Chain A
Amino acid sequence: MEHAILRPQAERRYQEELAALRVWDQGNRKPENWLLSPKAVRLFILGSSQPVDCGGQAVTIRKKYLGNDALVERCIITLAGNRGLMLVGEPGTAKTMLSELLSAAISGCSTNTVQGTAGTTEDMIKYSWNYALLLANGPSRQALVPAPLYVGMEKGILTRFEEITRTPAEVQDSLISVLSDKVLNSPELGDDGLLFARPGFNVIGTANTRDKGVNEMSSALKRRFNFETVQPVGDVALEKQIILNEVGALAAAAGITQPLDEEAAELLATTYHELREGVSAEGHRLERPAAVMSTAEAVSVYYQTMMTAWYYGDGRMDAGCLVEHLVGAVAKESDEDMGKIEGYFSTAVRDKARREGGAWTRYYEARSRLK
């Protein structure tokens, strides 16, 4: 019996859609070794309002990335070219999700990934050795343990490099020759040491602008990437929809059957949107918290509140509990942030409560939990 997985990878989560799109894709031009054509990749990520005809079967392709359609198109075309794709932006703007979706659709594999950290070394990117075999037989392909870059080149699939700017500059720079010459040399293997990348290979990097910025990347490496800046969602209604979609998926995986509370999603979407923008819909000028006010954070606050209600309460979400989790999410960077949140409640939330009542009033009344 197969064990349940906490978070299945994108190609498994959407395997029906991907299979249907392969049928739909007949006759479309596609780059060598791509599983889907650029058009089908776009359709997979951006979805379609009508079910699409896949060999006589109508399949609904859901919209998975809500935001900038043109950005997705640019990403796809970049990956079909000979430059890598670098997604940069604030934390929580769905860069990783987009990178996963692209890899799943193009290569059918989103797990060929290097997770960049301060301790990432070159052999975690290129290859290392099985030392038992190495000592027994000397350097050979069998003794070589390929890392994601090697795998990508060998199979002609995408290699994802998460948080690339967290890694030391000299490690980042090991990508330069691979990206320009598309060849990786393992000198230990002698004449057999040259690995030429197969078509379909490319690199998707992600970098968040809160940590070490991309400014510290060498310009030689920058030149080998096309940069795409992923902006936070600019529309409250869309942000609310994202929260509901994401929480819905998390709740389903966790077996929580309580229906989603749309009002709470709206409160959170509005709060996060207004604090991020520094201005409320009514025109109050707000102080922006130093903490990351991303949609992903809003999803997390919502989900925590939902779980609290599910396990400790009657399942219904409580405004007080929502505010407590909001405090937990915001009070990370500095104490000043709490003052900013209190300021938001005593101006924008107060006025919304007066004007709209209902959930906003309950939200405002729960301000005593802001501690």
Chain B
Amino acid sequence: MDALLRGQKPSEVIPFSLDAPVLYYPVRHHSPACAWHLERVIARYAPDCILVEGPENANPLIPVLTDPDTKAPVALYYAFRDEKGLLSEEGKGEQGRFRCYYPFLDHSPELVALRAAAARGSYAAFIDLSYGEILLATQAARGLRAVGEKQSYASDRYLSDNQVQRRLCEKAGLRSFEEFWEKYFESAGLFLSDEAFVRQMNAYCLLVRRHTPERALEEDGCLAREAHMAMRIRAAAGQYRRVLVVAGGFHLWGLLHPLPVPAWDEALPEGVQSVYPMRYTLPAADALSGYASGMPSPGYYADLWTALHSMDPAEAWTAVTLDYLVKTGRQLRREGETISAVDERCAFQQARGLAELREKPSPGLYELQDAVLSSFVKGEVTVSGAAPLRVLKALTTGKAVGQLCDGALRPPLVRDFDDQCRAFRLKRETASREKLTLSIFSLPRHRALSRFLHQTVFLDCGFAQRQKGPDLQRRRDRNLIRELWSYRWTIGVEAALVEHAVWGATMAEACGTELRARMSRAERAGVGAGLLVQGFLMGIGDVADEMAGQLEDLLITDGDFASLCEAFAALSTLEEWQGQYGEEGTYDYPALLDRCFGRVVQLLPAMHAVDDRGVSAVQQACMLLYQVTGREAFAHRRSALVDAFARLVGWDPIHPALHGAALGLLYGCDPAWKGEIDGTIRGYLRGTRGMMLRSAAFLQGLFYTARDLLLVDRDFLGQIDALLSELSEADFMDLLPELRLAFSYFVPMETDRIARQAAALHGARGRDLDRAAVDADAYARAEGVDAWAAARLELWEQKGADGTW
């Protein structure tokens, strides 16, 4: 670095004088060394105004960040809704929503500055453009508008991702920018005076800036931001005596030499952007986690920061490194690895030796990693053999979760979520997934918790996941009586809640608003009824009143039979399960089901022309209609259903599978239909060849709804048998595949019974059924062919070997 410093022109060096009215302090996000020197500089400079780089629409939240009850890591969550399409191509739909995090750790210089200002009673403010304005100043797919889920305001891409840095690492024989940074700034930097440290920071940042093209700065919105910050600094300088500016080292040159970038002449509309404080986690703050925010291994540096306040820097580094070696060893022993105290001692020696070889004052993160690799990994480093490195990584990342003070401006929805988590004793401080088993039908408390978890799923928080249990939406596993859930709190949960904060103050309210909104968008009765089921599971019955009106409209306007059937199935489920879920009487689902029944029955006869693809759904619908009229409350509807089925079977042409199913159900309602069934089967089998080929489909439909017919009525079997016997062998073979399908509705025992009865009709006994599948003649013929082929092969091999073939 010294060589670098000598290369700087004096005019480019940023002045750093404690006598100046405005003092510029360069930082890297989450750098303990920057924060450590900053604490000293603030004490020496005694500013009456501290300006910090950060979107200024978060200024009202500064008291929350500096409150003694607020525990880092915390973050500011910025959201921008581009409803007016200001960001042109992305201004539509989902893509028009932008969000980013600005995380703060205890050792973030920005948080140290804000806390110091609060402690001193100095004025403190963020000075960057608001988040929305930054987006507007940034070109598409650049800077904060870069494509990617996780956007962090505290990105270090300028400092770490450039050619200068790559060449420096290459020359210094270091593996990465982070190792370079730790060696020269975090480790050696602590032994420098404040002035020398700042000079070194400025020298590096200037070098990087000089190698960053101006165009990139413009495209990233960097120049517009710097011009705005410079304006705020000028205004503060006119008002306060001693102004301390805490900004990214990369920007200082731009703050001192702002370009005349056009100011924003158009104010952003109200309500398009919002900012909230939120709890954050150390894993999310890890630079390697994909947020690109600050330094890796935040847990390690957080401990270093604490140690720096109780011992001198060299001791602090050594103590923290030793502490992590011991913790890693202990964790490995817990996992069954044989790591002894001797291993730990060797690792510590290794770390110290490496620090000396690398000319570092004391071992740091990279010596710690190397020591663990050398001394704890026994054998080849492979995925399976690298447990020590995995454990160390987890430990140095840390797992602390922050906390916000009570009065924090947190959306009521987030507070409600927290309250409910507390009430249900759900853990929010662990990084591992927790499991819950809920007896939803027997314990009201479990049912309430299940509703809450369903609400989090509905709001797409990524908090909970139901792994097992009755699934009313898909109508599966309805025999289960317990729900098995897993859940885990992550920062994404809070982010999702903040996004939904405008929908309501409580989880139920937010879900209700969203449910109504989705219902108003629904175009199909099936979708509408599905939403009603979701509302039912979330226990927000009061919404059902409003939604039911809309659903009734959908039932009338929707002419799609499949969608109506879906709605019918959903409503039937609700009607059926209302009692079990303790919702009896909360809403008149039977009335709604009755209306839906009317619509389905009305459309049913028109379904005679359904094609092969849709027939199974119509069969299922017919079956469900029949089952529902079997319930006491709907018994009066049976006659209407019989009429509808009768009209359906009266149609010609009709899909044979539907024909069979409807006749089967009619037989279920009234055995007098048996004669009609017999006649129809005869008609199919004795009809023209085309009709004969459809007889199997008819039987399939018939057996789907009335398979008992074949089991209880021996004559029926005889009739079918006689009809099948009349077929020629060729016709029978054509029919066989579909006949097999038709008989697949019977369980093996039933198939066996039918087969024996059928065999008896032909004078065969049960055991004759077990005969070989191939007759003796065919077998003899095949054996002859086999012997002939073997002989030819042998001949070929002999001739081939002689080369005379």
Residues facing B in A72-86 (CB within 8 A) are 73-74, 76-78, 80-83
Binding stretch for chain B, among A15-23, A100-108, A212-220, A249-257: A212-220
Interface majority SS (helix, strand, loop, mixed), chain B: helix
Judged by a CB distance under 8 angstroms, whether A88 is at the interface is: yes
Chain B residues with Cβ under 8 A from A49's Cβ?
Answer: 171
CB–CB B353/A229 < 8 A: no
Contact of A74 among B340, B342, B350, B378 (CB under 8 A): B350
CB–CB A227/B358 < 8 A: no
Judged by a CB distance under 8 angstroms, whether B379 is at the interface is: yes
CB–CB A222/B354 < 8 A: no
CB–CB A226/B375 < 8 A: yes
Given A42-B357, A70-B370, A219-B338, does the pair A77, B379 have CB atoms closer than 8 Å?
no
Closest Cβ–Cβ distance, residue B586 to chain A (whole Å):
57
Judged by a CB distance under 8 angstroms, whether B484 is at the interface is: no
Given A74-B350, A74-B370, A228-B374, does the pair A38, B379 have CB atoms closer than 8 Å?
no
Task: Give 7 pairs: A residue, B residue, CB < 8 Å, sorted on A.
Answer: A38-B353, A74-B373, A78-B374, A81-B353, A223-B343, A226-B346, A226-B375
User: Which A residue sits closest to B378, measured CB to CB?
Assistant: A222
CB–CB B354/A73 < 8 A: yes
CB–CB B173/A77 < 8 A: no
Given A81-B346, A227-B374, A228-B374, does the pair A74, B379 have CB atoms closer than 8 Å?
no
CB–CB A227/B350 < 8 A: no
Contact of B374 among A42, A209, A226 (CB under 8 A): A226
User: Which A residue sits closest to B343, measured CB to CB?
Assistant: A223
CB–CB B350/A77 < 8 A: yes
Judged by a CB distance under 8 angstroms, whether B13 is at the interface is: no
Chain A residues with Cβ under 8 A from B427's Cβ?
Answer: none
CB–CB A229/B354 < 8 A: no
Residue of A70, A78, A88, A215 contacting most chain B CB atoms (<10 Å): A70
Chain B residues with Cβ under 8 A from A227's Cβ?
Answer: 374, 377-381
Chain A residues with Cβ under 8 A from B354's Cβ?
Answer: 73-74, 77
Residues facing A in B646-701 (CB within 8 A) are none
Chain A residues with Cβ under 8 A from B380's Cβ?
Answer: 88-89, 209, 213-214, 227, 229
Given A222-B378, A223-B378, A227-B380, does the pair A81, B370 have CB atoms closer than 8 Å?
no
Nearest 6 pairs of A and B residues by beta carbon? A77-B353, A229-B381, A226-B374, A69-B173, A222-B378, A214-B379
B 328-349 binary contact with A (CB < 8 Å = 1; else 0): 0000000000101011001001
User: Which B residue sits closest to A47, measured CB to CB?
Assistant: B173
Closest Cβ–Cβ distance, residue B462 to chain A (whole Å):
32
User: Which B residue sits closest to A76, measured CB to CB?
Assistant: B357
Closest Cβ–Cβ distance, residue B624 to chain A (whole Å):
49
Chain A residues with Cβ under 8 A from B370's Cβ?
Answer: 70, 73-74
Chain B residues with Cβ under 8 A from A88's Cβ?
Answer: 379-380
CB–CB A80/B353 < 8 A: yes
Judged by a CB distance under 8 angstroms, whether B753 is at the interface is: no
Q: How many A-B residue pairs have CB under 8 A?
A: 73
User: Which B residue sits closest to A217, measured CB to CB?
Assistant: B379
A 197-233 binary contact with B (CB < 8 Å = 1; else 0): 0000000000001000111000100110011110000
User: Which A residue sits closest to B373, measured CB to CB?
Assistant: A74
Residues facing B in A160-199 (CB within 8 A) are none
Residue of B338, B340, B379 contacting most chain A CB atoms (<10 Å): B379
Contact of A70 among B175, B342, B346, B356 (CB under 8 A): B175
Closest Cβ–Cβ distance, residue A114 to chain B (whole Å):
21
Chain B residues with Cβ under 8 A from A82's Cβ?
Answer: 346
Judged by a CB distance under 8 angstroms, whether A46 is at the interface is: yes
CB–CB A38/B349 < 8 A: no
B 458-486 binary contact with A (CB < 8 Å = 1; else 0): 00000000000000000000000000000
User: Which A residue sits closest to B340, measured CB to CB?
Assistant: A223
User: Which B residue sits closest to A226, measured CB to CB?
Assistant: B374
Closest Cβ–Cβ distance, residue B533 to chain A (whole Å):
45
Report the separation of the CA atoms of residues A231 and B33 in the bound assembly, to the nearest whole angstrom: 34
Report the separation of the CA atoms of residues A213 and B384 in the bound assembly, to the nearest whole angstrom: 14
B 135-171 binary contact with A (CB < 8 Å = 1; else 0): 0000000000000000000000000000000000001
Report the separation of the CA atoms of residues A228 and B374 in the bound assembly, to the nearest whole angstrom: 6
CB–CB A219/B173 < 8 A: no
Chain B residues with Cβ under 8 A from A80's Cβ?
Answer: 353
User: Which A residue sits closest to B347, measured CB to CB?
Assistant: A226
Report the separation of the CA atoms of residues A209 and B381 in the bound assembly, to the nearest whole angstrom: 11
Judged by a CB distance under 8 angstroms, whether A12 is at the interface is: no
Residues facing A in B354-396 (CB within 8 A) are 354, 356-358, 366, 370, 373-375, 377-381
Report the separation of the CA atoms of residues A227 and B389 in the bound assembly, to the nearest whole angstrom: 13
User: Which B residue sits closest to A49, measured CB to CB?
Assistant: B171
User: Which A residue sits closest to B382, measured CB to CB?
Assistant: A229
Chain A residues with Cβ under 8 A from B342's Cβ?
Answer: 223
CB–CB B357/A83 < 8 A: no
Given A70-B175, A78-B374, does the pair A226, B379 have CB atoms closer than 8 Å?
no
Chain A residues with Cβ under 8 A from B353's Cβ?
Answer: 38, 77, 80-81
